[in-house]
Every structure is written in structure tokens, then in C-alpha cells.
């Protein structure tokens, strides 16, 4: 009898615990369902807090897939003031009020800083200056989702550390040591706010001789990180931009789109004043009707906590507040003629026969080409070679050549005049249209990785974006060149990291149709 009463007691206790636990979990589930974004993010001291990098990465990956309104709702629920607000037609007035408050705060801060010092700190900002700087933040922190996760001071917290982005680099310090970081920046006249630039001579002096791609201890329990040293880079906004004397060949698309693309201008590249300290961000645009623009962007950024790379086309309208917001175009298009990563490697003397040898990996098979007629031979089942973004592409082409130091024009000529014709034939036979392909071309001393994304045009859209989502902070990969079916090339393994290629180049375009007329710009950056 005692045993039965004891069992009944424990049974009641167990049921009570289950019921209490379900009641506790119910509000959490309701909160998650509200935005559909699963997040472990909390808010501490006005900034998002994550218990570890993995939880930050999970939230970031989810936000990248969301619409602007959903990202805005996420920010509202967290009650943080984001670094770069998501601007829509509905919230434009609200953002304007927010930005005016930020303008007043920044002006007051720097007016106090100027008092009693001879340092050449810039004058107070006008409204127009801040609107432009807000727009230019996209060039410093190029990823929209990550910008929304940072607060207005460009900060985020992971575990015990605060990560603060500035226009001279990323500073890292324990949350309890944050006051020391504020003092460190103030003493050195480094701006703590991306809306107010650090004087260039101060920034250059600070960045000089700092190592890249590693955390540098600065003392006082403060670390510093920078992905690139802009003082050592070629000025990509001038000498780094190559305007070819003749147009590079374009992929074969609908004739009307092809004609539109041929007639749009090559845009001027915009960059931050000190270059791309967190990687590469290249932006160009076509402004029209005084209040509209087509914005074309490529970004490849190492933000330490996340690594972001992608290409994007936006159609925007400049509202009465002076802020640019997304606006649907009748048609919006993006095409990538090529993104090229170049990786140097030790000299490799392949056995050559005078012509490039090719392998085509499509439809879970490997094909080799008959160069004279642009035909191909089916060599049997074969898995596509592994790449960090293999789930984003339709196929891979491998080429071995005896040539070295190939220019972008030479690389595209090989593709459009030779390789693409074989790919089209494979597509015709399998009744497929291959839109996204990668070419891996190996020479004696360098490996060229080229990504092609043929023209896509959508109706009633305000943005088209292609994100290379590796799901990892460091997109390293080992590439086994040669495949599983012999073509005269022995299998060779190379280890590369997309964060640190020898060179990166881009040839893409964005187009938009509004009020019956087409507008757009080409974004071309060569080595």
C-alpha cells in the first residue's frame, strides 16, 4: 500500500513538472513564431548579445534569407537601434525622426570633442552629409543583415566580448572593459561613430604597420583586427578600375536584354575614404529622374565574426526625407559576366599537348570536349568537384592550359568562344538551361576560379541578390584538380582560402525598367 501511494505521489509530481515546463516554453514558442526567426539573441547594454559565435552565425544565416520587413520586425522586437535602418515606404518618416536624433547626438559629441583641442576634427555634419554617410555605411559593412544586427555604435556582443566596428578597423574588448576602449579611442581621436569619419591623417597613422587577418593586442585588454591594410593596396577606385577599349563578350541571353546591357554605361566605382578595411566592397550606380537610381554592388568582407560575399542590384527611390529606400521596378535584372578569384601556387609542370584540356561536370557525369566542333564525349558517372558554394551552381568546367598570367579578357574569351558553346550543347541534349557555372582554370603557376551567372530578370522587384552562403566564417577549401576520369592530368590538390586570394575581379551589371524606360550600370574592376 505504501509503495502504491509512493508511486502515485511521484506520478503526480512528474505530471506537474511536465505541465509547468510546457507553460514556461509556450511564451517562448509564441515569440519565435512571431517573426519566424529562431534566435538566441538577447539585448545587453543596447547591443545584441549571443552566447557564442555559432548562435550568432545561425541568426545571421536566417536573417540573410528574410525580406526587409522581416528584418525590420526582428530589430523592433529586440528594441535596438540598428547601424543602418531598414528603410521602407511605410517607415520612412520614423527613420527620419531616428536619424535626426542621431545627427543631433553626433554633432553634440563632436562639438564637445573639438572644444579645447587643436586637432583637425571635421566640422559638425549637415543633414545631407549624414544621409550620404548612412548610405556609404553599406560600403564599410556591406552586408544588410549584419548591419541590422549591429547597433547604432556598430557594436555586437558575443559571450563576454564586445566587438566594435570603426572606420579604422574592429576593436575587441571584454564588456567589463568597455570604458577602457572608449578612453583608448578618445585619446587617439579615433571616431567611435561611423557617421563621423576619423580624420584621414589620424586613421592612416594608426593603421600603418598593423598586421592583417589576425587579432593584434593593443594593451589594456583591447584587441584589434583589420582584414586589409588600405595603405598597402592599389587605389582600386582609380588605377584598380579598368575600362576596356572594347566591350568584353556577353553571355547569350534574350536579344532585347543583350541590347540593353550593351548600351548601359560603365559606372564609376565608389569606395570608403580609406579603402576597404574589412575586405572588398565595390559599388556603382545609375541615377535618373533626379530621385531614382539603380545600385550595383559586389562585396567580399571578412568581418571577423562572419564572412560575407555576394553581388546585389537594388532599385531605389529618394524619398522626401532625403533617404534612399527600395522601390519596385517594372523589371529588374542582374548578370555576372564573371567574378574571378586568382590563387597563386607553386610551379606545376603539366604535360601539355598544345591545347587546353577540358572536363565538364554536369548532370552527375563528366564530359570531355572535341574542341574543333564544340561537341563532347560522355565519360560516365562522376560527382561534381567540391567547392564551398557547390550548391549554388549548375556545373563545373576544369581546364588545364600552358598559358600564364592570363588577363580577364583572355579568360572570358576562352569561356565565351570555346567553353560556353560546349556547355550549351550539353544543355540542349538534356533540355536544361544552365545559368550558374564555375570554371576552374589551372596554369603553371596560378589557379583561376571564375563564376558566371547569366542574366536574370524579375518583374516587380526592388532587389536581386546572389549570396555565396558558405555557412562558415572561414571559407577554406581543398580542390582536387583532375577529376575521377583521366584526361592526361594527374590529380593535384590545392588548398585555398577565399578570404585571401591573390586577386579578385568583377564584371557584372544591373538594369531596371521604370516608367517604360531602361536604366542601369556595369560594375567592372580588373587587375
Residue 374 pLDDT level (bands cut at 50, 70, 90) = low
Q: Which residues contact 170 (CB under 8 A, 6 or more apart)?
A: 163, 164, 224, 225, 226, 278, 303, 304
339 against 126, higher pLDDT: 339
Q: Is 91 left (phi over 0), alpha (psi -120 to 50) or beta?
A: alpha
Angstrom distance (rounded) from CA 82 to CA 91 = 14
Give residue 109's pLDDT. Answer: 54
Q: Is the pLDDT score of 329 beyond 50?
A: yes
Measure Cα distances from 136 to 92, 139, 176, 366 in Å: 18, 5, 31, 45
Torsion of CA 164, 170, 173, 175, to 10 degrees: 10
CB 131 within 8 A of CB 78: no
Q: Is the pLDDT score of 207 beyond 70?
A: yes
Give residue 82's pLDDT. Answer: 85
Average pLDDT over residues 42-67: 90
Q: Is the pLDDT score of 13 beyond 50?
A: no
Q: Is the pLDDT score of 319 beyond 70?
A: yes
Q: Is the pLDDT score of 189 beyond 60?
A: yes
Residue 139 pLDDT level (bands cut at 50, 70, 90) = low
Reading the block at residue 412, the C-alpha cell is: 572570358
Angstrom distance (rounded) from CA 396 to CA 483 = 11
Q: Over the chain, what is the mean pLDDT?
A: 75
Measure Cα distances from 95 to 35, 154, 193, 292, 482 in Å: 21, 17, 18, 19, 54
Angstrom distance (rounded) from CA 64 to CA 77 = 17
Q: Is the pLDDT score of 376 beyond 80?
A: no
Reading the block at residue 492, the C-alpha cell is: 593535384
Measure Cα distances from 448 to 248, 278, 418, 489 in Å: 18, 23, 17, 17
154 against 351, higher pLDDT: 154
Angstrom distance (rounded) from CA 228 to CA 303 = 11
With H, G, I as helix, E, B as strand and everything else as coil, classify residue 88. coil
**pLDDT tens digits for 486-499?**
444 445 566 777 76
Give residue 170's pLDDT. Answer: 94
**pLDDT tens digits for 297-317?**
998 888 888 887 889 999 999
Q: Is the pLDDT score of 334 beyond 90?
A: yes
Amino acid at each position: 500500500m505504501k509503495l502504491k501511494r509512493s508511486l502515485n505521489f511521484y506520478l503526480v509530481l512528474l505530471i506537474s513538472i511536465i505541465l509547468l515546463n510546457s507553460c514556461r516554453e509556450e511564451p517562448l514558442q509564441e515569440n519565435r513564431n512571431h517573426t519566424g526567426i529562431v534566435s538566441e539573441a538577447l539585448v545587453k547594454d543596447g547591443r545584441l548579445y549571443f552566447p557564442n559565435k555559432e548562435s550568432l552565425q545561425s541568426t545571421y544565416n536566417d536573417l540573410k534569407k528574410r525580406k526587409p520587413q522581416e528584418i525590420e520586425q526582428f530589430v523592433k522586437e529586440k528594441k535596438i537601434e540598428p547601424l543602418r535602418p531598414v528603410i521602407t515606404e511605410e517607415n520612412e518618416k520614423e527613420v527620419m525622426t531616428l536619424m535626426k536624433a542621431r545627427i543631433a547626438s553626433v554633432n553634440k559629441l563632436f562639438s564637445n570633442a573639438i572644444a579645447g583641442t587643436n586637432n583637425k576634427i571635421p566640422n559638425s555634419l549637415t543633414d545631407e552629409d549624414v544621409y550620404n554617410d548612412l548610405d556609404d555605411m553599406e560600403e564599410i559593412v556591406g552586408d544588410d543583415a549584419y548591419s541590422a544586427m549591429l547597433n547604432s555604435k556598430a557594436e555586437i556582443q558575443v559571450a563576454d566580448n564586445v566587438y566594435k566596428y570603426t572606420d579604422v578597423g574592429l576593436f575587441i574588448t571584454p564588456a567589463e572593459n568597455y570604458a577602457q576602449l572608449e578612453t583608448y579611442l578618445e585619446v587617439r581621436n579615433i571616431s567611435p561613430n561611423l557617421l563621423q569619419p576619423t580624420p584621414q591623417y589620424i586613421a592612416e597613422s594608426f593603421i600603418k604597420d598593423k598586421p592583417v587577418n589576425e587579432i593584434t593586442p593593443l594593451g589594456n585588454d583591447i584587441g584589434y583586427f583589420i582584414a586589409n591594410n588600405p595603405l598597402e593596396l592599389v587605389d582600386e577606385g582609380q588605377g584598380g578600375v579598368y575600362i576596356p577599349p572594347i566591350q568584353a563578350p556577353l553571355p547569350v541571353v534574350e536579344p532585347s536584354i543583350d541590347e540593353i546591357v550593351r548600351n548601359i554605361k560603365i559606372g564609376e566605382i565608389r569606395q570608403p575614404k580609406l579603402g576597404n578595411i574589412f575586405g572588398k566592397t565595390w559599388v556603382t550606380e545609375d541615377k535618373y529622374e533626379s530621385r531614382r537610381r539603380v545600385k550595383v554592388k559586389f562585396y567580399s568582407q571578412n568581418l571577423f565574426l562572419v564572412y560575407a560575399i555576394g553581388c546585389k542590384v537594388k532599385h531605389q527611390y529618394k524619398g522626401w526625407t532625403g533617404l534612399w529606400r527600395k522601390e519596385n521596378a517594372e523589371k529588374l535584372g542582374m548578370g555576372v559576366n564573371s567574378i574571378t578569384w586568382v590563387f597563386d601556387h607553386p610551379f606545376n609542370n603539366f604535360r601539355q599537348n598544345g591545347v587546353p584540356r577540358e572536363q565538364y561536370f554536369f548532370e552527375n557525369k563528366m564530359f570531355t570536349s572535341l574542341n574543333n566542333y564544340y561537341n563532347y564525349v560522355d565519360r560516365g558517372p562522376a560527382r561534381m568537384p567540391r567547392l564551398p558554394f557547390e550548391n549554388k551552381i549548375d556545373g563545373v568546367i576544369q581546364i588545364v592550359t600552358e598559358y600564364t598570367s592570363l588577363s580577364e579578357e583572355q579568360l572570358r574569351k576562352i569561356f565565351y568562344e570555346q567553353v560556353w558553346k560546349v556547355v550549351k550543347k550539353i544543355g540542349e541534349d538534356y533540355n536544361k538551361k544552365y545559368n550558374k557555372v564555375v570554371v576552374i582554370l589551372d596554369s603553371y603557376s596560378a589557379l583561376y576560379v571564375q563564376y558566371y551567372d547569366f542574366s536574370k530578370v524579375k518583374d516587380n522587384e526592388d532587389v536581386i541578390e546572389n549570396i555565396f552562403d558558405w555557412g562558415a566564417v572561414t571559407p577554406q577549401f581543398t580542390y582536387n584538380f583532375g577529376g575521377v576520369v583521366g584526361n592526361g592530368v594527374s590529380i593535384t590538390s590545392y588548398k585555398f582560402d577565399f578570404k585571401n586570394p591573390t586577386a579578385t575581379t568583377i564584371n557584372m551589371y544591373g538594369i531596371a525598367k521604370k516608367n517604360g524606360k531602361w536604366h542601369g550600370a556595369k560594375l567592372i574592376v580588373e587587375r
